[in-house]
Structure 1
Amino acid sequence: MSTVTDELTIEGVRRFLYREARHLDDREFEQWLECYHPDAEYWMPAWADDDGLTADPQREISLIHYPNRAGLEDRVFRIRTDRSSATSLPEPRTGHNITNVEITGREGDSMDVRFNWFTLYYRYQTVDTYFGTSYYTLDVSGSDPLITRKKVVLKNDYVHHVVDIYHV
């Protein structure tokens, strides 16, 4: 658990983001889920064309969309029980890297955060790189932040396999 004071600092935000990434790299999916509020939306829009993203996950295609944490919990269940077309053995190895963390807004107990990231992904003697920008809304009312909204913009979306939660 991080030590969050009444006023979450940029360093506290970084520690939280690093912890979330570490849980993915260590395949600690249950601990990763604890970073999310029960009503958290997780959305990775698709590129509608080379210059614009889809804007409505209910009416346009998304690379990933879960309207709440229950969808993420189901995804983790499928990964853990090999009921996933995207996951097979050997399990992939990932390394998440986070840069340019900014607090972009704060209203009451809600904080908006933006950061860039890249993930190295290794499987079958092949290394792939994913990179993009993420936009989080955090509930900072408790002892630890909780993600209430996560929007992931994958900037290299021409990939040769299914993109999953551990890629980004």
Structure 2
Amino acid sequence: MTISYDEIRDFLHSEQRALDDKDYNHWLEHYDKNSEFWVPCWDVDGGLTEDPQSEMSLLYYDKRDGIEDRVFRIQTERSSASSLPEPRTQHMLSNLEVLAASSNDAEVRYSWMTHSVRYNNVDTYFGTAFVTLIRGEDGKLKIKRKKAVLKNDYIHHVVDIYHL
């Protein structure tokens, strides 16, 4: 049976809700142990970088271990890039498209917007995400690959996982 649109939608909403709730351990459960998380940069010609191994990225983790390390640093305040206090966020997902799906995997694309509040300032981040989902051994969906394209022309500070 093909992974349904409703299951995909509910799963992606759950991932974003975990970030808004700062429930990072639950957020990590959405990711496969070999998942890739990539936020490419815009180059000087207005195109996206294409290779995270040889070009600049805003964020790049080639496996879940890197994402787990980032979460550890946020939770233990051991990061020079961490935001204290952590911002309050509200994620919104729209224009969800299932590009391909089978019983074990799916390719999806969606638009996203995140409002972030910190020190009485509101920042808005927006973009498009391309996600490969797989069905894990436990039968639950997992993110195998996520590429989040940040479309903001100007950002005021370091972008972190909870902004995307």
Question: Shorter-normalised TM-score: what interval?
Answer: over 0.9
Task: State the Cα deviation string for residues 108-155 of structure 1 (Å, max 9, x = none).
Answer: 622100000000000000000000000000002552110000000000
Measured on the aligned residues, the alpha-carbon RMSD in Å equals 1.3
**From 15, 25, 28, the counterpart of 1:20:** 15
Aligned partner letter, 1:145: L
- Aligned equivalents of 2:74 and 2:37: distance in 1? 17
Q: Which residue of 2 aligns with 1:80?
A: 75
Q: Which residue of 1 aligns with 2:33?
A: 38
| TM-score of the two chains, using structure 1 as the length reference | 0.92
- Aligned equivalents of 1:125 and 1:139: distance in 2? 39
Asked if the contact 2:3/2:101 (under 8 Å) is kept, the reply is no
Q: Which residue of 1 aligns with 2:117?
A: 122
Aligned partner letter, 1:75: R
Aligned partner letter, 1:159: I
Q: Which residue of 2 aligns with 1:3?
A: none
**From 98, 102, 105, the counterpart of 1:103:** 98
- Aligned equivalents of 2:45 and 2:89: distance in 1? 27
Q: CA deviation at 1:107?
A: 5.2
Structure 1 runs (4+) deviating above 6 angstroms are none
Gaps of 5+ in 2: none
Q: Percent identity?
A: 52
- Aligned equivalents of 1:69 and 1:139: distance in 2? 14
Given the superposition, is the C-alpha separation of residues 81 and 130 from structure 1 closer, same or farther in structure 2, using an over 3 Å criterion?
same
Q: CA deviation at 1:157?
A: 4.5
Aligned partner letter, 1:58: Q
- Aligned equivalents of 1:51 and 1:90: distance in 2? 33
Matched, 1:155 2:151: yes
Moved more, 44-53 or 30-39: 44-53
- Aligned equivalents of 2:83 and 2:39: distance in 1? 22
Aligned partner letter, 1:27: K
Matched, 1:165 2:161: yes
- Aligned equivalents of 2:83 and 2:40: distance in 1? 25
Moved more, 62-71 or 99-108: 99-108
Q: CA deviation at 1:158?
A: 1.7
| TM-score of the two chains, using structure 2 as the length reference | 0.95
Gaps of 5+ in 1: 1-5
Task: State the Cα deviation string for residues 42-65 of structure 1 (Å, max 9, x = none).
Answer: 000000135310000000000000
Aligned partner letter, 2:100: G
Aligned partner letter, 2:22: R
Aligned partner letter, 2:135: V
Asked if the contact 2:99/2:109 (under 8 Å) is kept, the reply is yes
